[in-house]
C-alpha cells in the first residue's frame, strides 16, 4: 500500500499545485489529507498565494483518491464545497501487508487525525493519544512541523507528521509518503525554482 500524506494546505494554491504534481508522479493508492485545507486560520498570516477556490478545484479533481479528516480550521462551509468527506475527527486504515517496524510482524493500524483533538504532545499538538494497538502509527498534522519518531512515553506507537504544504513552521513545505510500514518526508519544490 502506498499513501501520500499531506496537511495544512491553508488555501496556498501554488503549493497545492506542487502537491498535485507530486501526486501525479507518485501514483499513490490513496491521498490522506490531515485537515486545514482551505482557510488560513486566525493564528496564521495569509499565504502569499492564498486562493482557496483554486485549492477546492484541485482537491475535488482527486476526490476518488482522498481520505480526509477535519482540522481546527475546517467548518461546515468547507464540506459544502469539497466533494469528499472532511469533517471526521479521525479515520483508521489497516494495512495488512505492512512490515510493522515495532512488532516485526505483518500488519499495521494507521490512525489519521489533525492533531488538535488527538495527538502525541509533540510541538504544540494536543497531548491526548488514542487507545491504539502496539505497533500502530498516529499520523497527524496541526503543528506544521515534520515528525517521524515514537510517541513520548509510549515507544510502541509511531508518530508521523508530514509537516505543512502551505505554511511550514520548520522551514520547508512538505508532505509524506507511506509504503508498507515505512514513512518518509518529501520536500515540495515550487514551480519555477
CA distances (Å), origin 74, targets 40, 84, 159, 167: 10, 13, 23, 16
Band the pLDDT of 191: cuts 50, 70, 90. Answer: low
Q: Nine-digit cell at 2? A: 502506498
Q: How many CB atoms lie within 10 A of CB 187?
A: 13
Q: How many CB atoms lie within 10 A of CB 85?
A: 14
Q: What's the CATH code, domain 2-186? A: 3.60.21.10
Least confident of 43-47, 97-101, 135-139, 183-187: 43-47
Digit-coded pLDDT (tens) for 12-69? 999 999 999 999 999 999 999 999 999 988 888 888 899 999 999 999 999 999 999 9
pTM of the model: 0.96
Paired sense of beta strands 119-120 and 127-128, if any: antiparallel
Residue 110's pLDDT is: 98
> To the nearest whole percent, how much of the chain has pLDDT over 90?
90
Question: How far does the chain reach from its first CA to its final CA, in angstroms?
Answer: 31
Q: Nine-digit cell at 28? A: 499513490
Digit-coded pLDDT (tens) for 90-122? 999 999 999 998 999 999 999 999 999 999 999
Cβ density class 103-132: b for 16+ within 10 Å, e for less: beeeebbbbbbbbbbbbbebbebbeebeeb
Residue 125's pLDDT is: 87
pLDDT at 192 over 60: no
Contacts with 23 (C-beta within 8 Å, 6 or more apart), sequence order: 4, 31, 62, 65
Band the pLDDT of 189: cuts 50, 70, 90. Answer: confident
Specify whether the CB–CB gap between 166 and 47 falls below 8 A.
yes
Amino acid at each position: 500500500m502506498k499513501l501520500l500524506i499531506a496537511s495544512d494546505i491553508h488555501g496556498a494554491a501554488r503549493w497545492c499545485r506542487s502537491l498535485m504534481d507530486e501526486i501525479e508522479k507518485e501514483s499513490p493508492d490513496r491521498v490522506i489529507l490531515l485537515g486545514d485545507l482551505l482557510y488560513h486560520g486566525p493564528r496564521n498570516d495569509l499565504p502569499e498565494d492564498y486562493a482557496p477556490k483554486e485549492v477546492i478545484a484541485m482537491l475535488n479533481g482527486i476526490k476518488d483518491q482522498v481520505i480526509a479528516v477535519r482540522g481546527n480550521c475546517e467548518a461546515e462551509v468547507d464540506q459544502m464545497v469539497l466533494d469528499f468527506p472532511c469533517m471526521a475527527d479521525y479515520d483508521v486504515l489497516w494495512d495488512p501487508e505492512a512490515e510493522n517496524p515495532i512488532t516485526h510482524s505483518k500488519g499495521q493500524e494507521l490512525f489519521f487525525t489533525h492533531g488538535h483533538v488527538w495527538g502525541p504532545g509533540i510541538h504544540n499538538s494536543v497531548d491526548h493519544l488514542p487507545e491504539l494497538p502496539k505497533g500502530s502509527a498516529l499520523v497527524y498534522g496541526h503543528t506544521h512541523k515534520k515528525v517521524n519518531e515514537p510517541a513520548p512515553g509510549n515507544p510502541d506507537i509511531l508518530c508521523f507528521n508530514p509537516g505543512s504544504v502551505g505554511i511550514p513552521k520548520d522551514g520547508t513545505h512538505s508532505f509524506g509518503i507511506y509504503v508498507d510500514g515505512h514513512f518518509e518526508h518529501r520536500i515540495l519544490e515550487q514551480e519555477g525554482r
